[in-house]
Amino acid sequence: MERMRIAVAGASGLIGSALVRSLTADGHEVVRLVRRAAAGPDEVCWDPVGQYVDAGGLTGCAAVVNLAGAGIGDRRWTPSYKRVLRDSRVLGTAALAEAVAALPEPPRVFVSGSAIGIYGDTGDRTVDEGAPPGDGFLPSLCVEWEEAAAPAQEAGVRTVFARTGLVVARGGGAWGRLFPLFRAGLGGRLGDGRQYWSYISLHDEVAALRRLIDDGTLSGPFNLTAPQPLTNREITAAMARVLHRPAPFAVPAPVLRAVLGDMAGDVLAGQRVVPRRLLEAGFRFAFPGIEEAIRAA
């Protein structure tokens, strides 16, 4: 990649912080969007829910990357927290897209976060980017999330939707909660374990995002998942092998529903998602297998 000025929203999150480290290490100028007064030229003040962006701070940016949003698994999905999940994504994306569209010299690309949750429960059916949205809270949220980027698209900015799967990383996300359980010998399958999980290593997630930023021929939705999804049962066995711990437990579906509420439906649902468009673009995964991804984490 040529050296460029890149704005990143969600720069303090699991994926955002890893992306910022990668870009900075290669000499790019990274501007972070922050929810307070900017402390220097490398920060831009914004309020995603209030739909405010100090657009002047985006001047000269060749790319804007939006990875902001409240944590899906951070809290039980009460009606109020569902609103937080939606507003943090939909309103924030709309604000950024409008700011990008209004710039005298817009960036070359707007990479907007999304998720494979858009497909809903696919069971054991393999789906790629051509599949329609599913039913339920997460699919409808993802549809709104992507539609919020319309102002950037209408302004002629190349717009990419990074539909991310389960990121295998030690420091956060779903796997950040799984590692301590398995290390303590308390790991196990969820429900019957037959539901497919579409995962991606943090290294490959960042590499894919960088490819989406740099390649001017790529636009629209891209699934950021490893090529071979596995069942929760298979992933549980792989975690046990890599960490040299038994995984004797299984969390019954009724218990998950009692603890997680509405979120349990998505934990127990299967998503057999493949990254067809990334592979067609020639992207090569460094850690395509689950054991490789776990060891890398």
For residue range 165-194, what is the model confidence (pLDDT) as tens digits? 999 998 877 788 788 888 888 788 888 889
Tokens standing for residue 105: 């010299």
Residue 250's pLDDT is: 77
Residue 185's pLDDT is: 82
Q: Report the C-alpha dihedral over residues 174, 177, 180, 184, rounded to 10 degrees.
A: -100
**What is the per-residue pLDDT across 249-275, written as a single tens digit (0 to 9) for each?**
777 667 656 655 665 566 667 899 999
CB atoms within 10 A of CB 192: 13
- For tokens 């497909």, name the residue: 119
- Cα–Cα distance between 162 and 265 in angstroms, integer? 23
Residue 205's pLDDT is: 98
Exposure letters 94-104 (e unless 16+ CB within 10 A, then b): bbbbbbbbebe
- Cα–Cα distance between 238 and 236 in angstroms, integer? 5
Residue 175's pLDDT is: 82
What are φ and ψ of residue 166, in 5° steps?
Answer: -80, 115
DSSP tag of 195: S
Residue 80's contacts (CB-CB under 8 Å, 6 or more residues apart) are none
- Cα–Cα distance between 85 and 81 in angstroms, integer? 6
Residue 258's pLDDT is: 61
Residue 259's pLDDT is: 56
Spans in the chain with pLDDT lower than 70 = 1, 252-253, 255-268
